[in-house]
Amino acid sequence: MSDDHPDDRPGARATLDTPFGPFTVVADADADGVVLAAGWTTVPDDELLPLVHPTLRPAKIVDRSELGAVTDAVLAFHDGDPGPAATLPVRQYGGPFLQEVWARMREIPAGTSLSYTELAARAGRPLAPRGAAQACAHNAIGLFVPCHRVRRGDGSLGGFRWGLSRKEELLAAEAAHVAARTATEA
């Protein structure tokens, strides 16, 4: 994390067309692609920036048509390759448990899902499924930290900031891409 005062740290924002609607990314312009917030919205000042903790929020954000590797990762994800989105650096504010849960979310393979209980166990606190659910609810970096891959223990979808229909669409698209890739490799 930068030691600069937030007022000194510039940010950049880009909105991209995707099969699931407009997708906006807010990144730390100094850090070459550190993603601070992302989601399916065209109103980032209302829906994304409030998710970025004040200590991480850039004071000035420049709109761009693309963000290099970040844009490439978003487009690759929507084309069926989640790999780049899973490896780009991200930064969000939270205590050790939230950080651990977010890190474990990034390890959930596309086309699969975990329950909140399974996610909590992977984060080292098997008795904290509600804490894992809170980590999903407080995740500011949709797609890059794929909270859409986490479900309730009964298999139902649970919540999703960008809507349950979008969560269902994302899971179905990922499963279809994995099935197609598996069929091609067979």
Dihedrals phi, psi of 99, to nearest 5 degrees: -60, -40
Q: How far is CA 110 from the centre of its chain?
A: 13
- Nearest-10 crossing angle of helices 96-105, 129-137: 80
Both tokens of 6, joined, read 């937030």
> Cα–Cα distance between 152 and 55 in angstroms, integer?
32
Active-site amino acid positions: 147
Specify the long-range contacts of residues 7-10, CB closer than 8 Å, at least 24 apart: 7/59, 8/59, 9/58, 9/59, 10/58, 10/60, 10/61, 10/62
